[in-house]
Structure 1
């Protein structure tokens, strides 16, 4: 009898199993093939806009993905550096084979974790509660809680041209019985679609036709446990190459549009809005003369390039024409053809904020099976599901992050409150408090929570406290630094500014654009502490306003709603609000306010109806 059984060793499954095991729960991870743990059937990269901040949050909660990404990166690059700190984020190009090897080795040595290589066929459910799972060979795995992280494997079908082949990603077997088992348990499923581009042999491509994209020169990392000697030096990093589609490329695609699985009527599932196939781009953005593509290495052990932005479900002969129309790829050898994949996902409106299903007690779901896209979104959900599965076993309250606390909180709240009709992708625009949810402050936001859950070591917390203390010391030193009026100062000269008319402190000068701590007091021993201080000082007013708004949200989140509340009995609620509230079953007044179709007047009525319940509880 396991405390937690995790089905699937993708990015969600790894985090769920590792978190549960680190919390001391007797955990089992069942996967078809451990050597493919954390596989990257699509873009071999980690991070990017919003996603990179999620990876930092996973690290602050003791997750695995950040360490693996740092250890197996081919290139590090900080994105959006010319923009504000609320949207700056790290992205690494990953060595996909090394990443899977790292993950498999990690899982093998993780205490309290048993890894079983088998294929789960159905769930064992009795009287509305999960009891474990049954494998294809009849093996029964008994558990108090189960986390399903089946990714894009449930009833998956690979689509290419006019053919549909039952298969998982990269030719792996599909999961054939799990969907039916979930539906029999009362869960609704729907079809989604995603895809991947062709891979070409690197030595058959002339990269001189493109623009080289190098990594960042400074030391960058996702995990606070990573040291400079643990990652590649700038001169060791692999480059990517930017190219553009040609008119000939567009002509070929348009002439064969009906040969695409997407436009031939073969596809039933909804595809990703923010990562469309190349044929979908041409239809949706018909006025664009060209589309950018990136040629990215997949692994040091492979001679292949990933054509990012060129996903397609065209027949193989058409793919040959498309690839050969690209600059520098006229003689490219396709090592692996592109395909689309359609699969079953669970309607996330059936989930609690803890990611436990409402229909089955003790059953959690996480990752792409919940309707999301991306490795990072999956890992963030897996981490939360694993934590909450353990808390469920221990009869403790669930661990839920608010929208002002983490992008992970934004994502899960969006899923369980608004649902999704297409593969959900995290974007910075989804976070109303994104200035509070930055790359630089993830550890400050979440590490204490991770420590209280047993996921962060005392040594890690002490290093965080030392950095925070150093940031405060630097702040005090700048406050004590006084620059008299009409006095020349090197930083003013560098920025071509006139001498000050009034005296100012170093902290006052730091508020100006392009002024750094080192400009004012010289070299610092902890550049991360200095950078955190600079952002806090320069954006002080904006951060304070966002904090006030977030505090108002927290007050609404504190208003709990009974799970069995009869919305039909509440007078003056609109009919639509009653229907939506009854379907979603929000757990707090704040969550209720974010349901589409529930207006402010409905929230006011609901708040009044909750008041007697709260008074009764207080007595």
Structure 2
């Protein structure tokens, strides 16, 4: 069946695997996507949504590089919201509710239209490794499929164990079997593995809910979209979500099942996601709170299935049902399926290079939850980067690594590789020290040129980005060059309770005032004339406003990033003998020898390596 050697084999077809396969194939590599069930490509295993705080920035970055997640989300969305609009633009984060079935269908159809990409349905049970190099995979039927590189994106399937109350059974997710064999083989090769836990809430019948008792949560009045491509369009119609609350009565009913909870009786030993805790964990940790929010999210345009966001649980099904029936609007609820927890194997990501290639086996890449992350967006971005680097390796080209000041994707991977993680890693804006540079509105400026150079971002993407940048730069220059008279601007300033000007002044200076918006500036005739004459769209207006109002912050972060890059230029040889540097602390020597940073900048971010250790290294390396 497989008598030719592939360039890249991707194992697993979740969000990481789908992006990895698309990237490798679009870069010209002969690629095979192997999954246990071709009907479940890019399945939304948990909530039916993409984006959110910091996650939305990642989806925009994937799109800017030429990945598929943004396009798929736009084509299957049922609601769109820009979160954190009351805060500065570094915090603005797009989020879309998706039609779960259409999302998976759209992904599959896009992959099937991708050249150089083959598919095969079967479980991969092992790897073919010769002289510490990957040579292919072995399937459950005994087939050996040869390849030059392999990307593992096994999600929660590696020895997955599902828990519902005092019951547990093997599975990668509800209704699907676990994957076996790979963990044991990798451990035998010298890899370190661990166990993590995640969970999901019950799915219920929307026809059994009373929405009149809930608070409606509509989408944005003027919805945006994820992809920078013009082929996707903002939503014209949207489905509303709803919000309700738990209560002391609900909490008491849940506590009745704590003795049968695998979280509290010791059946689950692994660590779950800190920032998406189960409902039993929430009422245990936050005992002072008498209620918690629940978001009632439709699973699609036409289905009646509903996702109960905020009620993730592994309590017995009868406890889940009884407690949920005491929630306002859920008095007559009918279950489609109960919530559950799942434990699975992962591999601490300090065993990887920044390319996501393993240090122990050449040509073997890990992406997604196998690296200890949680979330579709985090997984998809890793898949994209692993697919890119697998293709580059086969083509004997230079590796592709994003820096912390270039993308949230760069922050994510650097955090994993440098610091590791002992709990499911989730991206937040607070993790990015250069978040003013890494905004959702400028991901195309940052990444489309490199995506185009890689062969992923199309000529159309590049032209669209260049036009947007030219128009934004010209509009910013207009504000810098053009003065406005007091009689033109003072009525605008007076209406906003901003101090009036006494003489002619540059528009840039006035626009930079915190309470003056683009809408205010458009009341000046010359500004509106410029917009109409150059046919500037919403994206250019937003980009211009951010660049003008936050110029000081942006320039400061660029300066700090330049200092970081100076340390990145000081490379550390791969075979550097840290034990010979007695002036380093013992902890620093151990940590550096284990992680083997590629430069001083990465070394400086390792926990346990002090500034004085970096000074010692700097002197030695310069010498």
Normalised by the shorter chain, which TM-score bucket? over 0.9
After superposition, give the CA deviation of every residue in 1:123-172 in whole Å (9 maximum; x if it has no partner): 11111011010010111111000000000000000001011101111211
Taking the aligned partners of 1:498 and 1:257, their CA distance within structure 2 comes to 61
Taking the aligned partners of 2:341 and 2:461, their CA distance within structure 1 comes to 42
Q: Structure 2 matches for 1:91-130, cutoff 5 A? A: 91-130=95-134
After superposition, give the CA deviation of every residue in 1:423-474 in whole Å (9 maximum; x if it has no partner): 0000111111111110111111111110110111112111111111111222
Q: Structure 2 matches for 1:388-399, cutoff 5 A? A: 388-399=389-400
After superposition, give the CA deviation of every residue in 1:339-392 in whole Å (9 maximum; x if it has no partner): 000000011110111100001000000001100000000000000000111111
Q: Is the 8 A contact 1:351 1:416 kept in 2?
A: yes
Q: Is the 8 A contact 2:249 2:326 kept in 1?
A: yes
Q: Structure 2 matches for 1:371-450, cutoff 5 A? A: 371-450=372-451
**Which of the numbers 492, 511, 517 marks the counterpart of 1:515?**
517
Partner in structure 2 of residue 464 of structure 1: 465
**Deviation of 1:35 (Å):** 1.8
Taking the aligned partners of 1:569 and 1:477, their CA distance within structure 2 comes to 59
1:469 aligned counterpart, secondary structure:
helix
Taking the aligned partners of 2:380 and 2:499, their CA distance within structure 1 comes to 51
After superposition, give the CA deviation of every residue in 1:238-284 in whole Å (9 maximum; x if it has no partner): 10001010111110112221211111211021100000000000111
Which blocks of at least 5 consecutive residues in structure 1 are unaligned?
613-619
1:159 aligned counterpart, secondary structure:
strand
Residue 232 (structure 1) aligned with residue 235 (structure 2) = yes
CA RMSD of superposed structures (Å): 1.3
1:279 aligned counterpart, secondary structure:
helix
Residue 138 (structure 1) aligned with residue 139 (structure 2) = no
After superposition, give the CA deviation of every residue in 1:72-110 in whole Å (9 maximum; x if it has no partner): 001000000000011101000011110111111111121
Partner in structure 2 of residue 201 of structure 1: 205
**Deviation of 1:403 (Å):** 0.7
In structure 2, the CA distance between the partners of 1:77 and 1:164, relative to structure 1 (3 Å rule), is same
Partner in structure 2 of residue 4 of structure 1: 8
Partner in structure 2 of residue 65 of structure 1: 69
After superposition, give the CA deviation of every residue in 1:532-586 in whole Å (9 maximum; x if it has no partner): 1111110111111111111111111111111110100113011000000011111
Q: Is the 8 A contact 1:486 1:501 kept in 2?
A: no
Q: Structure 2 matches for 1:76-225, cutoff 5 A? A: 76-225=80-229
1:220 aligned counterpart, secondary structure:
coil
**Deviation of 1:225 (Å):** 1.1
Taking the aligned partners of 1:345 and 1:530, their CA distance within structure 2 comes to 44
Partner in structure 2 of residue 560 of structure 1: 571
After superposition, give the CA deviation of every residue in 1:509-528 in whole Å (9 maximum; x if it has no partner): 21122321534412553221
Taking the aligned partners of 1:286 and 1:586, their CA distance within structure 2 comes to 43
Q: Is the 8 A contact 1:260 1:312 kept in 2?
A: no
1:404 aligned counterpart, secondary structure:
coil
Q: Is the 8 A contact 1:58 1:66 kept in 2?
A: yes
2:397 aligned counterpart, secondary structure:
coil
Taking the aligned partners of 1:250 and 1:349, their CA distance within structure 2 comes to 39
Residue 546 (structure 1) aligned with residue 570 (structure 2) = no
2:522 aligned counterpart, secondary structure:
helix
Residue 337 (structure 1) aligned with residue 348 (structure 2) = no
After superposition, give the CA deviation of every residue in 1:281-310 in whole Å (9 maximum; x if it has no partner): 011111111100100001234211100010
* Number of aligned positions between the proteins: 609
Residue 37 (structure 1) aligned with residue 41 (structure 2) = yes
1:59 aligned counterpart, secondary structure:
helix
Q: Structure 2 matches for 1:282-293, cutoff 5 A? A: 282-293=283-294
Taking the aligned partners of 2:476 and 2:439, their CA distance within structure 1 comes to 20
1:77 aligned counterpart, secondary structure:
strand
**Deviation of 1:485 (Å):** 4.0
Taking the aligned partners of 2:230 and 2:270, their CA distance within structure 1 comes to 40
**Which of the numbers 582, 596, 608 marks the counterpart of 2:593?**
582
**Deviation of 1:489 (Å):** 4.1
Taking the aligned partners of 1:86 and 1:307, their CA distance within structure 2 comes to 29
**Deviation of 1:497 (Å):** 3.5
Which blocks of at least 5 consecutive residues in structure 2 are unaligned?
none
**Deviation of 1:597 (Å):** 0.3
Taking the aligned partners of 1:501 and 1:35, their CA distance within structure 2 comes to 69
Partner in structure 1 of residue 544 of structure 2: 533
1:134 aligned counterpart, secondary structure:
strand
Taking the aligned partners of 2:76 and 2:319, their CA distance within structure 1 comes to 34
